[in-house]
Amino acid sequence: NAGVMQNPRHLVRRRGQEARLRCSPMKGHSHVYWYRQLPEEGLKFMVYLQKENIIDESGMPKERFSAEFPKEGPSILRIQQVVRGDSAAYFCASSPPRGQAKNIQYFGAGTRLSVL
Amino acid sequence: GQQLNQSPQSMFIQEGEDVSMNCTSSSIFNTWLWYKQDPGEGPVLLIALYKAGELTSNGRLTAQFGITRKDSFLNISASIPSDVGIYFCAGQLATGNQFYFGTGTSLTVIP
């Protein structure tokens, strides 16, 4: 997990509020991935971004969820009008540009979202 | 998306026993990664594989990139209690940057 920083580690929101999850990739990594994990389940791909571009958002719910990775600053996963079913662990991972280093992906420690 | 079948889904073994798990895909991958996840933590990378037939070790862990490039195997020798956790495989196609994950193998080691 070294290098990929996620914050906050824990986030509590009431139904209807917005949740913002942040991820800073490892130094030199320009690709960011977001995954959701429910208790006792595997990692579900949500979205894959490069700087200022969404490459693949096929795993992202069509409504209320959005992601960005601006030129400066961390990647943000935003969940609007949260519902109880959004409660999960959200993991961010980063990888270097293909061809510039070994194909590899490192994870952050995750943000655990609880919706009351 | 790509489907990775990981088996077994769960294992209960005695301390000291060896463990084997595998991951299969319907597509050809050119990278395989193996991760371990402890409760409440993010997945930690254990081993990365880049060539068909490649065999790589990390302490008591050994992983192999299948010859067909559609599967990979992870072995743990002489298991200890701290091996408990969920093990995930991940594969990457020849093009694109996305990694596809298996469903995980939950390992319980009985002292």
Per CB distance under 8 Å, which residues of B are interface residues toward A? 1, 30-31, 33, 35, 40-45, 48, 50, 88, 90, 92, 97-104
Q: Nearest to residue A73, comparing CAs of A1, A2, A5?
A: A5
Chain A hits for B100, Cβ within 8 Å? 45
Alpha-carbon distance of B2 to B49, in angstroms, equals 18
B1 pLDDT exceeds 80? no
Instruction: State the pLDDT at residue A103.
Output: 79
Instruction: State the pLDDT at residue A2.
Output: 53
Instruction: State the pLDDT at residue A97.
Output: 77
Strands B105-110 and B55-58: unpaired
Q: Nearest to residue B10, comparing CAs of B92, B108, B102?
A: B108
- At A80, list the tokens: 């609007």
Alpha-carbon distance of A113 to A22, in angstroms, equals 12
Question: Residue B49: what residue type?
Answer: L
**Residues 27 to 86 of A: which have CB under 8 A from any B CB?**
31, 33, 35, 42-43, 45, 48, 55-56, 58-59
Cα end-to-end distance, chain A, whole Å: 29
